[in-house]
Structure 1
Amino acid sequence: MILDNRGLEPPQPMMRTLAALETLGENEVLTIINDRRPMFLYEQLEELGYRQRTEPQDDGSFKIEIFR
């Protein structure tokens, strides 16, 4: 599942991401694309038992893969 959060103002990207995680299956990966590095999201993910991998993109955005 890919969620493009570019162009949204905080806290919309985090709210959309957390809502999408509720539908994520056990072995699925949620990929989000944000304009900014989601510093506050990382804390939430850790508390919920998720791991993430963040890659800066050439256009200045960030691609974050979220998984268990």
Structure 2
Amino acid sequence: MTIDNRGLEPPQPMMRTLKALDRLKSGDSLSIINDRRPLFLYEELDDRGYIHETEAQEDGSFKITITKSGD
């Protein structure tokens, strides 16, 4: 699943992302596309034990792939 958060003002991208993450099962992944690096989201993901990888896109946005680690 991919969520496109471009064009949204904070905290909407983070709120949408966290809501979607609540539905993931162990081993599932979610990709989000943001206008900027989600620095506050990274902290939250680390605290919750998610694995994440960020890729800069050619249009200046960032694609973040988040995986729920095994319990």
TM-score range with shorter-chain normalisation?
Answer: over 0.9
Q: Which runs of 4+ in 1 moved over 6 A?
A: none
Q: Deviations over 1:23-64 (max 9, x none)?
A: 012121000000000000000000001010000000000000
Q: Percent identity of the aligned residues? A: 65
Q: 1: CA distance between counterparts of 2:25 and 2:5?
A: 21
Correspondence list, 1:52-67, <5 A = 52-67=52-67
Correspondence list, 1:1-68, <5 A = 1-67=1-67, 68=69
What is the number of residues matched between the two proteins?
A: 68
When normalised by structure 1's length, the TM-score is 0.97
CA RMSD in angstroms, aligned pairs only: 0.6
What are the ranges of 5 or more consecutive residues in structure 2 without an aligned counterpart? none
When normalised by structure 2's length, the TM-score is 0.93
